[in-house]
Structure 1
């Protein structure tokens, strides 16, 4: 029975992280299709993406109470049911319903993340707890990679976003089944692991009374975290600071908007932008696995410091180079609009010395129609412009190099986050 519990707990832990990572990353590619199908504005796109976080915020307020009073196992089962419900709601072709569905999924993800690691650590022996927490972290990164992979496979499919959201049902169902067969209490799991269950009611009651006495001696209230005893005030400040700065790095936003960001730095088609995000997910998986291998040998603190240093340097580089790169800033919000890039096209001049690209498109069309009826349009500049291009290609090459440097720095940011803030945060919180 001990091996079967460990196997089920491993499956539950890995799938819990996988579903968490999948739901985080899947919006990146789905957003490319949703903004075209529903003609979403910038605000609507941001509301759809952030609705997941709104649900998580709501769950963080009531999650602790729910877990303490209903138990870890029941909380995970509830989160599975909510994810299944939210995934089905996301299949409806309505923007407002999509927002509601993402809120439900976000609520469930938060409940699952809070209770999953605690639960699996209670039903297995102490020497396997670190391994299961590691599996959960690995499951998150693999889930993100799987989401980006599904985004790429379904990038050219009609209404592929429904399949993207719906495929989360599969791992959720498997996790629900594995959790269902796991014991619901620590005492029950201990009895099954060791096969040393109490044979008499008296001995069990005696053991329960000892446990209750022991538990009453170590009960603390929330104010204990802010007291100077045992240096708890400093430890609490460090823990809260790490959590806040983890979000301030902006790395979660990179996961949400990966495909959109790659569009901005020059990847034209949806497929190419999503394929680049697959590379980003692969880099994150490799960095996470590397961190897991060296975390015990090198130490969590050196990994956190080095990861933060590389993130800082990369973000500074991105900030300095972004002003010199050519980015399509209007495309993420207005995919259906006709956009003319005046930096890439030659200047077309009509009689009177007016530039066509200096006026609105409708007025340009009127000017061209009026001037071509009575006189010739001056097109010599257009014919000659591409010919004087020994130096004309130099700015484009420069812009391409800058964009690729930004892309590499983004990869470094994601890798450094996975090495530093990612797994180290859990161990510092202990």
Structure 2
């Protein structure tokens, strides 16, 4: 691959991530304005946030066939056009138009994400694959940070949510222009070319083969599902979507203060992702993912413990007072009008102080004890975001682009992505009511438990793929060997353990290695 093509591939991957991350993060601040302007209930807020995920879920159902039949490049171009159309719909001052626009954008960004990861993984050499594919995740983190920064600057601007949604066209146009200069087919990169025999065999693979023990496909599918399900069940999507809402809940009182705290999260996410990107081909996928899950577990459990103090955990997203866009509290005009926001520590039972003005620096709580706890929660939230950016963020999509055979890679990617977005939708749509039922503390303790389970799952089942060509990864997975062990993979997912089979596998693999 020439330097110019490599650069364009990097731009396409990064720009796709920018759009993805921007659309994920921008709703965090826009929601604070939208719920005040449209008087949204908790269910309406969750529906608006989750509309993006509904579109992504629909795309994951049909996207695999689209990518495999029409090609990666055409799929990226289609996603760009859909995002531009969806961004126009989002400018309409109607709640239902916002929902439709978010569904359309979610559909497009899911197609773009799948296409970019597969496109780049098939184009580059093995020693660059980790770097180039994780560029997509880097773009996501930069997009999230950009969204939080824009949220902060437009937090006190009436109708600023239109600008928040509309600015997504900038990275979209960048990707649209860049991808047109790349080759239309990237399935046969130098140094990673399949033989005629292996291609014929791969083309005979059908979608239902993902659930069979032949070629260790059942294990591959289990790994893929574990990657996408655990990354959602650990609650990371809600940290992005509801960052400002969470900070309001634990005591950051104005919209600007909550948005500025979110900028801190986005900054940490970018810095750590850049570090992970440089380490994926050197340290390996397995250590980064398991280590990230472990740190997430510790940080989430710490948040659960710290947020149990009365000043924070007493504030629920469906309480009876809310904030205007200028950060001042206002009562409901009538009971049940659907406008639900957070009260401050100045409600009855507090210390009686007045609300602080908008230009007040980050002020978690009027009490010293509450302030210390809230700043500690902020630090732990940064640790969660950082741990996710080391592990799940880049490693999920990198591993998914590596572990499946070429002939069904698009469909397998879409199948696992379908579960990804379904879990994402479930976790996001229930978040506010979850907090309203069991509080911030109980919610984050559940997320911490899921992170512990994820670390154990990947410790026992996850292979190491660094430095391998896609053909080598496929061959070794077919032989049922885990890359982090000298023994074959003999597990409950279909590998039959016997000394005869062990010797036969070792002989076959040794012969293949000598031939290649």
Which residue, out of 200, 204, 211, partners 1:216? 200
1:343 paired residue number:
349
Contact 2:25 2:241 in 1 (8 A): yes
Please say if 1:319 is aligned against 2:319.
no
Which residue, out of 272, 280, 286, partners 2:271? 286
Cα distance change, pair 223–406 in 1 and its aligned pair in 2 (3 A): same
Q: TM-score, normalised by structure 2?
A: 0.66
Further displaced range: 322-331 or 24-33 = 322-331
* Count, aligned residues: 366
Q: For 1:276 and 1:101, how far apart are their aligned partners in 2?
A: 28
Contact 2:42 2:318 in 1 (8 A): no
What SS class does the counterpart of residue 335 from structure 1 fall into? strand
Q: For 1:223 and 1:105, how far apart are their aligned partners in 2?
A: 30
1:175 paired residue number:
175
Q: For 2:240 and 2:232, how far apart are their aligned partners in 1?
A: 12
Further displaced range: 333-342 or 258-267 = 333-342
Cα distance change, pair 331–308 in 1 and its aligned pair in 2 (3 A): same
What SS class does the counterpart of residue 59 from structure 1 fall into? helix
Deviation at 1:221, TM superposition (A): 1.6
Contact 1:307 1:421 in 2 (8 A): yes
- What are the equivalent positions in structure 2 for 1:159-174 lying under 5 Å apart? 159-174=159-174
1:17 paired residue number:
17
What SS class does the counterpart of residue 253 from structure 2 fall into? coil
- What are the equivalent positions in structure 2 for 1:11-50 lying under 5 Å apart? 11-50=11-50
Cα distance change, pair 103–60 in 1 and its aligned pair in 2 (3 A): same
Q: For 1:253 and 1:156, how far apart are their aligned partners in 2?
A: 23
C-alpha deviations, 1:214-251, integer Å up to 9, x for none? 52222212233333334332232122112111100001
Point out where structure 1 has 5 or more consecutive residues left out of the alignment.
195-209, 347-393
Contact 1:35 1:335 in 2 (8 A): no
Which residue, out of 369, 388, 397, partners 2:368? 397
Deviation at 1:60, TM superposition (A): 0.5
Further displaced range: 148-157 or 321-330 = 321-330
- What are the equivalent positions in structure 2 for 1:285-304 lying under 5 Å apart? 285-304=270-289
- What are the equivalent positions in structure 2 for 1:69-108 lying under 5 Å apart? 69-108=69-108
1:368 paired residue number:
none
Which residue, out of 389, 404, 421, partners 1:418? 389
Q: For 1:214 and 1:303, how far apart are their aligned partners in 2?
A: 31
C-alpha deviations, 1:174-196, integer Å up to 9, x for none? 11111122221248x97xx99xx
Please say if 1:132 is aligned against 2:116.
no
Q: For 2:125 and 2:376, how far apart are their aligned partners in 1?
A: 47
Cα distance change, pair 125–305 in 1 and its aligned pair in 2 (3 A): closer
Pairwise CA RMSD = 2.6
2:211 paired residue number:
226
1:267 paired residue number:
252
Cα distance change, pair 294–8 in 1 and its aligned pair in 2 (3 A): closer
Cα distance change, pair 102–120 in 1 and its aligned pair in 2 (3 A): same
Point out where structure 2 has 5 or more consecutive residues left out of the alignment.
324-329, 332-342, 353-364, 403-516
2:65 paired residue number:
65
User: Hey, which of these two has a bigger chunk of helix by percent?
Assistant: 1
Q: For 1:149 and 1:333, how far apart are their aligned partners in 2?
A: 29
Q: TM-score, normalised by structure 1?
A: 0.79
Deviation at 1:123, TM superposition (A): 4.4
2:56 paired residue number:
56
Contact 2:141 2:269 in 1 (8 A): yes
2:378 paired residue number:
407
2:151 paired residue number:
151
1:7 paired residue number:
7
Cα distance change, pair 304–124 in 1 and its aligned pair in 2 (3 A): closer
What SS class does the counterpart of residue 235 from structure 1 fall into? helix
What SS class does the counterpart of residue 185 from structure 1 fall into? coil
Contact 2:133 2:398 in 1 (8 A): no
Further displaced range: 300-309 or 98-107 = 300-309
Q: For 1:32 and 1:128, how far apart are their aligned partners in 2?
A: 41
Further displaced range: 98-107 or 151-160 = 151-160
Deviation at 1:128, TM superposition (A): 4.1
Q: For 2:144 and 2:319, how far apart are their aligned partners in 1?
A: 21
Cα distance change, pair 95–160 in 1 and its aligned pair in 2 (3 A): same
Further displaced range: 288-297 or 244-253 = 288-297
Q: For 1:335 and 1:299, how far apart are their aligned partners in 2?
A: 47
